[in-house]
Amino acid sequence: MKKIALIGLLTFSQFSYALSVHCGHLLDVNSGKMLKNMYVESENGVFTAVEKFKQQQIDLDLTDKYCLPGFIDMHTHLSLDFSKKSYTEKFQLNEADYAFKSALYAKRTLKAGFTTVRDLGDVFNVTIALKKAINKGITQGPRIYTAGKSLATTGGHADPTNGYREGLLPNPGPKHGVVNGSAEAAQAVRQRYQDGADLIKITATGGVLSQASSGDNAQFSNDELASIINTANDYGFRVTAHAHGKQGMKRAIEAGVVSIEHGTYLDDEIIKLMKKHGTYLVPTLIAGEWVTEKSKIKGFFPDVVAKKAATIGPIIAKSFEKAHKSGVNIAFGTDSGVSDHGDNGQEFALMLKAGMTAINAIQAATINAATLLGQLDKLGSVEKGKYADLVAVSENPLENIRTLEQINVVIKAGVIEFQ
C-alpha cells in the first residue's frame, strides 16, 4: 500500500503512512546531548529510524531548527478554564458547553508542543469523551491519560457542592467522586473503571480554589486511602494525589500514590519519604504564580479562596527548589485550566528560576513524565519503536529555555499537526 505523509486531522486508518524529517539539531534527552545533522523517520506513528543524515529523501526540512521529543504535561484540566466567573458558571453551562470548550483547549495544548497530557480532574467525564474523539481523528489534541472526576471526601477539595446552600445541588456520592469510608472509596475507583478513566486522582488535602476554609488539611483517612490504592491496583490504575499539607502528603505517600501534585508544605520528613518510596513531585509552578497574582485583585476570588491563594501560592516554588536539590523525582506539570491552556511552556522558565538546569527541566517533561505514566517504552524520547512525537523550535533550548514557549512545528504520532 502506498505510503503518504499526513497533516492535521486527516484520518489515516486505511493508509500506511510515513514521515521523514531532517533535523539540524536533535536533543537526546537521555544523554542531555544536542546531536547535529540527524535523520528521523517514522511509519504508522512510530519512529523507525533515528540516525545521521546521509542525503536521504525527506518530507520535512528542519535543518535550521532544534528538534525535541513531544512534551508531556502531567497535570492539566482540559475541561476547565478558571476565571472570576467559574464559581457561577457551573449553574449556567451544560455538558455540551464544557465539551466544546475542552476541544478548543486540547488544540491549544497540542499547538504548544504538548503531545501527551495527564488530565487530573474534569466535569461530566468530558475528557474521557475527548480522548476518544482525538484518538479517532475527530478533533486535534494531545494523547490523553485521564482520571475523569477526581476523588474527594465530603467537604473536601473536589466536593462540587462546597460553598452552596444545602439542597441547591444534589448530594454527591461515589459516582460523582465523593466518598466516606472504605466501601465508598472502593466503589468510586470501580466507577472510574466503568467510566473509562486511565488513572485515579485523589485530593488528599484541602486546596486553594475550592470554597472550603482549609487549603492544606488532611482529607482521607488511612483506611480510605488503603481501600483506594488496593482497589486501584486490582484494576491496573496508578493513583496520584493533590496535596498541599504535610499530614495529607505523608498518608498518601505511605499508602502508595505514585506522585504528589503541588507539594506546598513538604519538609525534610516528606522528602525522605518520597525518596524512600520513589514518589514523584509534580510542582505546578505556573499555577502558584497565577493564584498569587489573582489574589491581589479585589473581588476576583471569594474571600475564603483569596486568603488561601495569597498564603499557599507564593510557597510552591520554594518547596519545589528544596525537593529538587534533595534529589526527589520531578515530573513536569502545570495545572493548566488554572493558568491558561497553551501557556504550558512557561513552566520551563519557572523551573529554571527555582534552580533546575535546562536539561533537567526538559527531562522532567519527557523521560521523567513518561516514567511516571508507566509509558517509557512508548513515550519521552526520540528512539526507534516509540511514538513519533516531535517538536521543533528556532533556538537552542539548552541556552534559551524560553524558546520552548514558541513552538514552530508539532508532530504527533508521525502526523504534522502544526507547522
CATH number where 139 lies: 3.20.20.140
Distance CA 19, CA 60 (A): 8
> Ranked by mean pLDDT, which of 119-133, 162-176, 199-213 comes out on top?
119-133
My answer on whether 232 and 153 are in the same domain is: yes
Predicted confidence at residue 186, as pLDDT, reads: 98
My answer on whether 186 and 150 are in the same domain is: yes
For residues 125-140, average pLDDT: 97
C-alpha cell belonging to residue 42: 517514522
pLDDT at residue 80 greater than cutoff 50: yes
My answer on whether 108 and 241 are in the same domain is: yes
CB-based contacts of 305, cutoff 8 Å, min separation 6: 208, 209, 210, 211
pLDDT bracket for residue 169 (50, 70, 90):
confident
For residues 373-390, average pLDDT: 98
Burial label, 350 (beta-carbon count in 10 A; 0-12, 13-18, 19+):
buried
pLDDT bracket for residue 3 (50, 70, 90):
low
Predicted confidence at residue 2, as pLDDT, reads: 40
* Range from 8-17, 264-273, 287-296 carrying the lowest mean pLDDT: 8-17
Question: Can you tell me whether residue 333 is helix, strand or coil?
Answer: coil
Helices marked H in 235-357: 246-255, 268-277, 285-294, 303-312, 316-325, 346-353
Per the structure, the complete domain to which residue 190 belongs is given by 71-373
Strand partners, 60: 21
pLDDT at residue 168 greater than cutoff 80: no
CB-based contacts of 236, cutoff 8 Å, min separation 6: none
My answer on whether 307 and 198 are in the same domain is: yes
My answer on whether 62 and 135 are in the same domain is: no
Q: Give the count of alpha carbons within 13 A of 413, CB side only.
A: 20
For residues 376-384, average pLDDT: 98
* Residue 147 and residue 119 in contact, taking contact as beta carbons nearer than 8 Å: yes
C-alpha cell belonging to residue 402: 524560553
* Residue 187 and residue 215 in contact, taking contact as beta carbons nearer than 8 Å: no
Distance CA 42, CA 5 (A): 10
pLDDT bracket for residue 12 (50, 70, 90):
very low
My answer on whether 321 and 350 are in the same domain is: yes
- Of all residues in the chain, what percent are helix, strand and coil, respectively (each to 5)? 35, 25, 45
Pairing of strands 409-412, 415-418: antiparallel
My answer on whether 78 and 62 are in the same domain is: no
pLDDT at residue 248 greater than cutoff 70: yes
Predicted confidence at residue 159, as pLDDT, reads: 85
My answer on whether 165 and 306 are in the same domain is: yes
My answer on whether 200 and 140 are in the same domain is: yes
My answer on whether 354 and 405 are in the same domain is: no
CATH number where 12 lies: 2.30.40.10
Tally of domains within the chain: 2
For residues 282-286, average pLDDT: 98
> Can you give the pTM of this predicted structure?
0.95
For residues 264-272, average pLDDT: 97
List C-alpha distances in Å: 417 to 10, 57, 103. Answer: 10, 21, 15
Question: Can you tell me whether residue 294 is helix, strand or coil?
Answer: helix
pLDDT tens figures, 32-57: 999 999 999 999 999 999 999 999 99
pLDDT bracket for residue 1 (50, 70, 90):
very low
Burial label, 268 (beta-carbon count in 10 A; 0-12, 13-18, 19+):
exposed
pLDDT at residue 7 greater than cutoff 80: no
My answer on whether 274 and 390 are in the same domain is: no
- In percent, how much of the chain has pLDDT > 70? 96
* Range from 4-18, 63-77, 238-252, 278-292 carrying the lowest mean pLDDT: 4-18
Predicted confidence at residue 5, as pLDDT, reads: 60
My answer on whether 163 and 231 are in the same domain is: yes
For residues 62-83, average pLDDT: 97
Distance CA 124, CA 176 (A): 9
